Amino acid sequence: MVDAFASTSSTLISRSVDDSEKDRTQQLRVGRLTKAHGLKGAIKLELFTDDPGRRFVPGAVFTLQVPTGSAWHGKTIELVELRWYNQHAVGFFKDVVDRSAAETLAKAILWIDADVAEQSDEEDAWYDHQLVGLAVVRDGVRIGTIGRLEHMPAQDLLIVKTPTGDVMIPFVKAIVPSVDVKNGVVTITPPPGLLEELPEDPADVEMTHAEPETDSVLETDAAASAVETDRP
């Protein structure tokens, strides 16, 4: 489930699981372990859910997303306790007993299994399968459809299929101000150059068609350019 109207630090995101339960089950990305906290195995958490009281309860088991070379690859981890220090979430996990063990989990992403029919109370949040296939519109013109989502540590990306190829759109409010699942439309306001090459600067075009300048003018301009280049 994704939330385009907040930073990714407060989003809850889903992806399909590749097994016999995929028609009924989603894996939801609910947090990321950032760094060790103290000496007793505690780990600071970046939460991707607005409901940590329901997701992060003692005994909750999370699937770990870590590099294939990690000793934690393919494993799960069980929460013992979630505490708050200076408004930062800190987790204590089973079998993570010291700082050295906690450091091996830095940057791991936490996923949980959830029923696909589960309704979220979070505002402006969607499951991946709700977004895939929606029309993407810019300035009232359809430019493509959402093919898939990519969930990166820093932010989430909409992969938009256009006639000229796939385009990656950061799924943040500034660029994706409106998601209308009911009508099947996602409105984007990308910055210049995100979807196409920037047009030529009109001033450059005018210079191309201007009359040749005299040697004295060219020399003056060259000197001015040198001054501009030398400026810090």
CATH of the domain at 175: 2.30.30.240
- From 171, 187, 203, the end of a domain falls on 187
Q: Does residue 137 sit in the same domain as residue 101?
A: no
In this structure, what token pair is assigned to residue 161? Answer: 């299929």
Residue 31, strand partner residues = 47, 110
Q: Does residue 73 sit in the same domain as residue 110?
A: yes
Percentage of residues of the chain with pLDDT beyond 70: 67
Residue 1 has pLDDT above 60, yes or no: no
pLDDT of res. 182: 87
Average pLDDT over residues 174-183: 91
Q: Does residue 151 sit in the same domain as residue 179?
A: yes
H helix runs in 126-214, sequence order: 128-131, 202-209
Is 196 within a domain? no
pLDDT of res. 66: 92
Average pLDDT over residues 112-116: 73
Reading phi first (left if > 0) and then psi (alpha if -120 to 50, else beta), residue 74 is in: left
In which band, very low, low, confident or very high, does the pLDDT at 27 lie, cut at 50, 70 and 90?
confident
Q: Does residue 144 sit in the same domain as residue 110?
A: no
- From 187, 202, 218, the end of a domain falls on 187
Mean pLDDT of the chain: 76
Q: Does residue 54 sit in the same domain as residue 153?
A: no
Q: Does residue 59 sit in the same domain as residue 110?
A: yes
Q: Does residue 81 sit in the same domain as residue 161?
A: no
pLDDT of res. 120: 52
- Residue 71's CATH number: 2.40.30.60
pLDDT of res. 192: 85
State the residue for tokens 């359809």.
Answer: 142
Is 62 within a domain? yes
Q: Does residue 15 sit in the same domain as residue 56?
A: yes
Average pLDDT over residues 218-232: 39
State the residue for tokens 């939460």.
Answer: 47
H helix runs in 132-214, sequence order: 202-209
| pTM across the whole model | 0.52
- From 63, 87, 115, the end of a domain falls on 115
Q: Does residue 59 sit in the same domain as residue 139?
A: no
In this structure, what token pair is assigned to residue 162? Answer: 């256009």
- The per-residue pLDDT for range 142-163, each reduced to its tens digit, is 999 999 988 776 678 899 999 9
Decide if 160 contacts 179 (C-beta within 8 A).
Answer: no
Is 30 within a domain? yes
Is 65 within a domain? yes
Q: Does residue 45 sit in the same domain as residue 91?
A: yes
- The per-residue pLDDT for range 191-210, each reduced to its tens digit, is 888 876 544 444 444 444 44
Q: Does residue 19 sit in the same domain as residue 86?
A: yes
Average pLDDT over residues 104-109: 94
- What is the count of structural domains for the chain? 2
Q: Does residue 19 sit in the same domain as residue 95?
A: yes
- CA–CA separation, 80 and 59 (whole Å): 6
Domain that holds residue 68: 8-115
pLDDT of res. 154: 67
Is 217 within a domain? no
**Residue, of 204 and 67, whose pLDDT is higher:** 67
pLDDT of res. 4: 45
